[in-house]
Amino acid sequence: MGLDEKFDVFNEEGKIIGSETRRQVHRLGLWHQTFHCWIIKRNNAGEWLLLLQLRHKNKDTYPNMLDVSCAGHLLAGEGIEDGTRELKEELNVEVRIEDLTYCGTILEDHVLSDECIDRERIHLHLLRCDQQLEDYQVQLSEVSGLFELTLADFKKLYEKQLQRVQAKGFLVNQAGKKVLVSKSIPRERIIWNSKAYYEALFFHIAKLDQLESASFE
C-alpha cells in the first residue's frame, strides 16, 4: 500500500473529522484506525500458541520486527468489518467479522521518529484457528515469516521475566520458499503495545479458555 492512500482521521473523542493521506497521517500524528487480529490455537500439550508475523524489511514502520498475527490500516470510509480483508491478504485466511472475538478498541500513541508519529485507534480481535503453521500462505510484500510462541512464554516476555524465548516458525527465502526454523527470539525484536492492549487480549483468551473448559463438563 502506498503513502498516498487515504485514511479517516479522528479527534481524541473518536469522531471522524476528515481524511488524509498515510504520509500526512504519520507525519502530523493524526488519529486513524487499524485492525489487529491475534490467531491462537492449542498445541499437543493443550497450551495456547500465539501466531506472530515477521514484518517485511521494507515496511515504513517497524521493519523486520515481530508483530501481531495480522494487522492493517482501515482506509477512508471503511468499517471494522473491512479489516478481515487483511487476514485474507496477509495470511490467506478467509473469515467473516462474526468469526472473530472483538476485544475492544485500544488507543496507542507512539513517536517513532521526528517524521513519524503513530496515533492509532486499534480494533483488537482474536481468532481461534487450528491451521498448521506451514499451511499459511503469506503476502510476500508484507510478511517475511511466521512464528508460534506459547502464551506463557509471551506473557513472560511482556512482563520482562524473560529476555528471550525459543520459537518455531518459518522464514521466506528470496525464491519465495518457506524455510522451517527454530530461533531464539529476543524481547526487543517484538513490537510491544500498551498495558491496556495486553490486558484486553489476555482477558479474552482466558474467557475463551473458560468457555472451552465448560463445553467439556
**DSSP code of 46?**
S
Which candidate, 9, 40, 55, places its Cα nearest to that of 103?
40
**What pLDDT is recorded for position 213?**
75
Task: Give 163-185 pLDDT, tens digit per residue.
Answer: 999 999 999 998 889 999 999 99
Task: Give 40-99 pLDDT, tens digit per residue.
Answer: 999 999 999 999 999 999 987 889 999 999 999 999 999 999 999 999 999 999 999 999
**Mean pLDDT value of segment 142-150:** 97
Instruction: Identify any residues that bridge with 139 across adjacent strands, giving them in sequence order.
Output: none
On average, the pLDDT of the chain sits at 94
117: amino acid identity, one letter: I
107 CB contacts (<8 Å, ≥6 apart)?
31, 119, 120, 121, 122, 196
Task: Give 3-15 pLDDT, tens digit per residue.
Answer: 789 999 999 899 9
- Burial pattern 158-179, b for ≥16 Cβ within 10 A else e, equals beeeeeebebebbebeeeeebe
List of domains in the chain:
6-215 (3.90.79.10)
**What pLDDT is recorded for position 4?**
84
pTM of the model: 0.94
